[in-house]
Structure 1
Amino acid sequence: MIRKAALRTIELEAQSVANLANYINDDFEKAVTAILNCNGRVVISGIGKSAIVAQKIVATLNSTGTPAVFMHAADAIHGDLGIVQPNDVVIIISKSGESPEIKVLVPLVKNFGNTLVAIAGKADSYLAKAADLFLNTTVNQEACPNNLAPTASTTAQMVMGDALAVCLIEERGFQREDFAKFHPGGALGKQLYLRVRDLYIHNEKPMVSPDEKLSSVVLEMTQKRLGVTAVTDGNDHLLGIITDGDLRRLIKNNVPDANSLTAKDIMTANPVVIAPDELAIEALDILRKRSITQIAVVDNGIYLGIVHLHDIIKEGLI
C-alpha cells in the first residue's frame, strides 16, 4: 500500500506538470517580457502553501540575475505593501484565486499601477480575471487522497515559476560566471569560482634538481609532506615529477644500486599539469580521470606548486 500511494502521488504530480505545457501561451511570453523590461524588481506574494512556493521562486530569481522580493499577502494588507515600488512587477500566487487576503490585495496593487501577474489554478477566479496577465496552473486532482491538501497544485506553481526563471536566464544570456557572483557560498558556489591558484599557495613547494640523489629526494618529500616533489632546472622549469608511488615501486622491484640513482633517473617526464587560473573543480576532474592524488601547477612552463586531493576535499568540492 505504501509503494502504491507513493507511485500514485508521483503519477498525479507528473501529469499535472505535463499539463502545464497547454498553458504556455501569449500571457506567459508577455510576463517574461514585462519582467525583462522592468526597471524595478519582481515582488511575489501569496498565502499559505502558495506563500512558500513564492519564496522559493524569489530565491531562484535572485540567484539567476532577476531582483526579486517576497511579500506575504496577509502582511501586505497590514503595512508591508510599502515593499511595492512604482517600477516593480507584482506576481500573486494562489490555487483558488479567491482567498480573502488576495481579494483585498489585488485592487491595492492595481491602484498602484503595477503590472500584475496571476499564477492561479482557476481561470474564472477573482485573481485571474483581475490580473493583467494570467499564468494558468490548473490541476485536475491533488495527490492528496482527499483531494484537499495542496500537493499537485503547489508542484505546478513551482514548475511555472521555474519556467519563468529559465526563460529569463536564457533571454538575459545569464552564464555560469554570473551565477557564481550571486551564489558564492557552499560547494556549488566554490565549483564556479574557486581556482587552482587559491589552493596551491597554501602548500609547501617541494622541488629538487635533476642531479640530486635519491636520499635528497626522499628528504624533500618527507619535509614537504605532499607525497610528491617536482624536478626543476635552475630557472624553475618543470622537468618531471616524483611521487611516493614511484619510490614504493623502486623498493618493490629491488632496483640495484638504488642509492646511486638521481632525480632524473626516477622522475616521470612531461607529467600532467594544470594552470593556476583553472577552476579547482577542473583539477578534481583530472585527478579522478588519472587516478592520481596530486597535480603540479605550471604557468608557461614555470613550476608554481602542488595541488593535493586533500586540498579539494577540505574545500568541500567532494
Structure 2
Amino acid sequence: MMLAMGRDKAAAGDNPARNIDILACGRAVIADEAEALEALTHALDDSFVAAVEALMGTGRRVVVSGIGKSGHVGRKIAATFASTGTPAFFMHAAEAAHGDLGMIMRGDTLLLLSLSGETRELKQVIAYAAEAGITVVAIGSKPTSTLMRLADVKLVLPSVREACPENISPTTSAIMMLAMGDALAIAMMNLRGVSRTKLNMFHPGGTIGQRLTRVSALMHGKDELPLVARDTPMRDVILKMTAHSFGIAGVIDDGGKLIGVITDGDLRRHADHLLDADAFAVMTHAPATIDVSSFAEDALQTMEEGKITALFVTHALDPRQPVGLIHIHDILRAGMR
C-alpha cells in the first residue's frame, strides 16, 4: 500500500537511519494493536451475547457515554449503531450532571465506556441509571472497578500494554474499545436483518450513498433503448447504434423480449460479412442483464467481470423484458470509482 506524502521524496531520504526508526516505530504500534485485537477476539464470551441482547432489548434508544479518549470512541460507536439500524446517540459524561441526564428516557439502555471504571462523571450517570431503572452495559478494563461492579452487563477488555512507550496514553486500549463497539453494532445489524436497502435509507449521501445507488436511478429509460428486431439488416443496426451512442443494441423477438445484444466487439468479429448479415446472425445470445432494483455497484461489478461497458436492465417479474439500459459511464459519472 502506498501512502501519500506531503513532502518531497528527496527529503525523506536525507536521513536513512531516521527513516528506518520511524518506520519501525509505526510498524511496532500497528503490530501491538493487531495483537491486542487478537486477544480481544479470544476474550469474547457469553457477556458479549448478553450485551447484544440488552442493547437490542431496549424499547427506545442506546445512549452512549464516556469522557476523554473513551468519549471520542463513544461518539464513533454511537454513530455506527445509528447507521446500522440501532437508534443511538452520544451523551458527554461531563455534561450529564448539568442537565443532559434528562436526555435519557425510560426504556433506553446506557452503554458506558471507561477504561478505569472510576471516572467521577460516569459514577453520577450510573447512579442516575440505578435510580431510574435504566439498564447499563459497560465496556472497560478493570473488572473490580465501580463501573463494572454496578453495570448490568460487563464487557471487560483484555489487559494489554498500551502502544505508547510510557504505557500511559490510551492507544491499544482505545482500539480494542472501538472494535468492541463495532462488533456489537454488526452483531445487532445481523440479528435485525438490516439489508442494503435499509442502509441506503440511512446513508443517502457521501461515498456510501453512492455505493448504494440503485440501477433505476441511473439507467436510461425505455424510450431511449437501442432495440432492433432479429431480422434487421446490419446496416440499419449500425445506424441505430450510432444514433444512441451506447456501443450496444438489443435484439428482441416479436414479443419484445430480449434475445441477444450486438456490441462494438460483435461488429469487429463479423467484419468480413457484416453488411450481408442480419441482427440475429451477429448478436451475442443470452446476454448479461441487470435487474432494475439492483445496486449500481453490482452493475459495475458485472460489467468489469464480463469486460463489457453496458447492460440492459430488466425486471425480476419478466427477466427478458428490457426496461432500461445502464452504461459504465453513467456509473462513473455518479462517482463510483
Fold conserved between structures, TM > 0.5: yes
CA apart distance, 1:23: 4.4
Aligned residues of 1:43 and 1:71 also touching (Cα < 8 A): yes
- Asked if 1:218 is matched to 2:238, the reply is yes
1:165-180 maps to which residues of 2 (within 5 A)? 165-180=185-200
In structure 2, the CA distance between the partners of 1:300 and 1:127, relative to structure 1 (3 Å rule), is closer
Higher relative contact order (CA 8 A, sep 6+): 1
CA apart distance, 1:51: 0.9
Distance 1:269 1:140 in 2: 61
Aligned to 2:309: 293
CA apart distance, 1:41: 1.1
- Asked if 1:273 is matched to 2:289, the reply is yes
Aligned to 2:3: none
- Asked if 1:144 is matched to 2:160, the reply is no
1:52-131 maps to which residues of 2 (within 5 A)? 52-131=72-151
- Asked if 1:157 is matched to 2:180, the reply is no
Q: For 2:219, what is the secondary structure of its paired residue?
A: helix
CA apart distance, 1:239: 3.9
Distance 2:51 2:232 in 1: 70
CA apart distance, 1:26: 4.5
Aligned to 1:302: 321
CA apart distance, 1:175: 4.0
Aligned to 1:246: 266
Q: For 1:302, what is the secondary structure of its paired residue?
A: coil
Q: For 1:116, what is the secondary structure of its paired residue?
A: strand
> Residue 236 of structure 1 is aligned with which of 234, 249, 256?
256
Aligned to 1:195: 215
CA apart distance, 1:135: 1.6
1:250-261 maps to which residues of 2 (within 5 A)? 250-251=270-271, 255=272, 258-261=274-277
CA apart distance, 1:154: 0.4
Aligned residues of 1:106 and 1:130 also touching (Cα < 8 A): yes
Which moved further from structure 2: 240-249 or 33-42? 240-249
Aligned residues of 1:197 and 1:277 also touching (Cα < 8 A): no
Distance 2:199 2:22 in 1: 40
Deviations 1:257-284 (A, max 9, x none): x544433443334433334344433322
Aligned residues of 1:122 and 1:138 also touching (Cα < 8 A): no
- Asked if 1:317 is matched to 2:336, the reply is yes
Q: For 1:66, what is the secondary structure of its paired residue?
A: coil
Q: Number of aligned pairs?
A: 314
Deviations 1:196-251 (A, max 9, x none): 57523288211233444443222211211111222334442334322223334455
In structure 2, the CA distance between the partners of 1:168 and 1:230, relative to structure 1 (3 Å rule), is closer
Which moved further from structure 2: 122-131 or 298-307? 298-307
Distance 1:112 1:72 in 2: 19
CA apart distance, 1:84: 0.5
CA apart distance, 1:119: 1.3
> Residue 300 of structure 2 is aligned with which of 284, 290, 297?
284
Distance 1:25 1:270 in 2: 51
In structure 1, give the amino acid aligned to 2:322.
Y
Aligned residues of 1:61 and 1:68 also touching (Cα < 8 A): yes
Q: Aligned-pair RMSD on alpha carbons? A: 2.7
In structure 2, give the amino acid aligned to 1:7.
R
Aligned to 1:38: 58
Aligned residues of 2:218 and 2:331 also touching (Cα < 8 A): no
In structure 2, the CA distance between the partners of 1:274 and 1:86, relative to structure 1 (3 Å rule), is closer
User: Structure 2, unaligned stretches of length 5 or more?
Assistant: 1-20
- Asked if 1:262 is matched to 2:278, the reply is yes
In structure 2, the CA distance between the partners of 1:297 and 1:36, relative to structure 1 (3 Å rule), is closer
